[in-house]
Amino acid sequence: MDKPAFLGGTPVQMGHHKWPVVTDDDKRAVMRVLDRGILSGSFAPETRALEEEFAAFVGAKYALLTHCGTSALQLTVAAAGVGVGDEVIVPAYSFVATPLSVALQGATPVFVDVDPETGHMDPALAEAAITPRTRAIMPVHIHGEAADMTALLALGQKKKLAILEDAAQAQGAEHLGKRVGALGASGGFSLQSSKNLTAGEGGLFVTNDQGAAELANQVRNFGQDLRLSDAAHFDPERSLDGHRSLESIGMGSMYRGNEMAAAFARSQLARLPALTAASQKNAERLAHKLGELPGVHAPRSLPGRTSVHHKYRVRLDPKQAGLDVAPKVLRDAIKAALVAEGCEVVFWQSAPLPAQQVFRAHAHSTLRTLPGGTNLEENYDPARYGHTSALLDGSIVLFSHTCPLIAQSEATVDRYAEAFARVWHYRQAIVERHTSGQ
């Protein structure tokens, strides 16, 4: 086995491809908007077309374009009637947008720990966290793999709680043959630049409930009395003029998307199934090769669920690898060695979400004293989330936002496998060198 670059060998040449891949079709789509001259509006043509196409893609009756994924998630909370004094259960492992979307609606995010192997919300812990103030549960299809929707939907039905899907990373992921997003009351997707379906920035709210769609549409338009049926009155010759009252009848903001992002996303959506299939094939190819290494656990989808592999988190077990070191020590050493080989390797998150300062401060707000609710000082203690911490301390994410798996060729994936095997073969020496600081 060749010596790894970290120990003085020659690094593997990766040949990365950057994301997003912009084609002539994408450029023509954006130029179509500029030539038309309609740049925005709830019922503008590219926006409406994207909403219809994406709704069909995920199997939803309604889709609404928003200006970012966080606003799409906030619409799920608003459309469920969640507000001040209410609680929404969220996982301790996700991107911060998940709990922030709850807090932005005036409600309180309540954290639960996750499965230490998958990173998904633990349904049993979610049930244990329910209080009289709980109004919804927001599972996250983390890294693009479907969460345990069978258990969570059953829990929602049993406790009469809305299940709100954070599908920001999971465009096209499936649960029991159905695409995620509209399996619960509603769901939110992100179109941010790193996502498998991208428009630079943007989001999509989806639901099968007309009442939820109407309420979400009002919230994304300043809380104004705007109906989905008003689309029939859209005049492309007077795209900036409307017929509705400008009086706000409820709380809201300007969460709409724009036409150039919609057109770009439509063009990307047309290629998404083929790109996803290729990425899934490469993910399995890499998992097979990494699975030959003792103590290395590549992501594998559970029965009945699929992943679109927005992120590729690999767990490292020191004991199984024959090493007497802490998981963090092995994690940090292997990351350094893989980077030296030319691999893109990140941590993405390094601590449970409750450790972030915004939630530490929130735990000391007046909300902690509301009767019948969760003790936030206790719930926001990062030490409670041992499974989340163990997952983060003992794993790395291969590839990056700039060079994600979906953009890579089979040849590049094989080079990652080669680099990982080389590094893992010399893991003892790499750990010793890394910890000695040489």
- Give the start-to-end residue ranges of the domains of the chain: 24-269
CATH number of 24-269: 3.40.640.10
> Helix, strand, or coil here: 113?
coil
What stretches of 92-161 show up as alpha helix (H) in DSSP? 97-103, 123-128, 149-159
Burial 175-207 (b: 16+ CB within 10 A, else e): beeebbbbbbbbbbbbbbebbbbbbebbbbbbb
Residues 6+ positions from 157 with CB-CB distance below 8 Å: none
- pLDDT value, residue 48: 97
Mean pLDDT by 10 residues, the chain (438 residues): 93 94 98 95 94 98 98 98 96 98 95 96 98 97 98 98 98 98 98 97 98 97 88 77 79 94 98 98 98 96 95 98 98 98 96 93 62 88 97 98 97 97 98 88
Burial of 241 (0-12, 13-18, 19+ CB in 10 A): exposed
DSSP secondary structure, 279-296, as one string = HHHHHHHHHHHHTTSTTE
- pLDDT value, residue 364: 66
- pLDDT value, residue 370: 64
Instruction: Name the token pair of 315.
Output: 């767990």
DSSP secondary structure, 152-202, as one string = HHHHHHHHT-EEEEE-TT-TT-EETTEETTSSSSEEEEE-BTTSSS--BS-
Distance from C-alpha of 246 to C-alpha of 365, rounded to nearest angstrom: 35
Rg, Å, the chain Cα set? 23
| Residue 55 CB neighbour total at 10 angstroms | 21
Taking the complete model, does pTM exceed 0.85, yes or no?
A: yes
